[in-house]
Amino acid sequence: MSEPIQVLVTLNAGYLDPLKVMLTSLHANNPGESIHLWVVHASLTAAQIDELRWLTDQFGWELSNERVTADFTASVPLIERYPKEMYFRLLSGEILPPTVQRVLYLDPDILVINPLRPLWALDLKGKMLAASAHRGVTKLVDSVNQLRLGTTTSYFNSGVLVLDLAQAREKIKLTDITATIEKYSASLILPDQDILNFLYGTDILEIPEEIWNYDTRKYLVYQTRSLNEQDIHWVMAHTAILHYCGTPKPWDASSDSKFTGLFLNYQQQLQRLMALRPAVTEA
């Protein structure tokens, strides 16, 4: 059997339902795949973890519950509107057991619609991370963020990451993250993503966004940039990860995009599966 794909998620209860939809899509489109799910959090309840574990048991996966201690979270700086859990992906080398050498981080607001094994097996070419840059038709976004952050690399999205944890344990330090936030807090727009790019951008291998981190808001951009090649048929055949960036989210009543229906279909599949779970009685 192939080595399990070590999937990392970090969240609070607010994203628990979207996470379960994401996992349903991952299972549906990676049949027979061996998955070890690492759930890193600071506040999920035992009942919420049990519900997740019931789901992953149905899929034949392994789940590890990694609750981050209060002492650790107290040292994680916060910026208004953003939860501390968003930093756990960068600090996962400190949180996960030292035996875990590589993880594939996925945001909860994602659908997996094709196999992930090629991304998991990616040669990082000596880099610490792999990530995609979300661009428009031109590279204007890169230029704006290079000016804003004083960087020279592409501006990478932190929603899908392959992390070499052996390198991360040596290079990613909470003290560096804290010092950067304290110094540049006024100019940080998406704090964890800005930190990723500011501190570690030169150690990131770029992977194609249209395959591994497709921004569902930008269907027409991808189609235009590819001279109409990347239509919806191309996306369904080639894209592995759809990322519902921004708002509204596909589970919101106001969402009515080209990709909303696909999310709602996996949500329905999840609901049918969860209806089979035996009722949990209070002790």
The dihedral region occupied by 143, where left means phi > 0, alpha psi between -120 and 50, and beta the remainder, is alpha
d(CA 150, CA 144): 10
- The enclosing domain of 124 has a CATH number of 3.90.550.10
| Residue 282, domain member (yes or no) | no
- The pLDDT assigned to 72 comes to 81
Residue 159, classed as helix, strand or coil, is strand
- The pLDDT assigned to 146 comes to 54
Tokens matching residue 199: 């501190």
Query: What's the CA angle centered on 176, arms 174 and 181, to 5 degrees?
Result: 95
| Residue 108, domain member (yes or no) | yes
d(CA 221, CA 229): 12
pTM score: 0.92
| Residue 109, domain member (yes or no) | yes
Tally the domains of the chain.
1
Q: Is the CB of residue 262 less than 8 Å from the CB of residue 242?
A: yes
| Residue 176, domain member (yes or no) | yes
pLDDT in tens, 58-68: 999 999 999 99
Half-sphere exposure of 135 (CA within 13 A, CB side): 21
pLDDT in tens, 135-188: 875 454 554 455 455 666 788 999 999 999 999 999 999 888 888 887 777 666
Domain region containing 213: 5-274
Q: Count of residues for the chain?
A: 283
Total Cβ atoms within 10 A of residue 218: 19
Sign of the C-alpha dihedral, residues 215, 221, 226, 232? positive
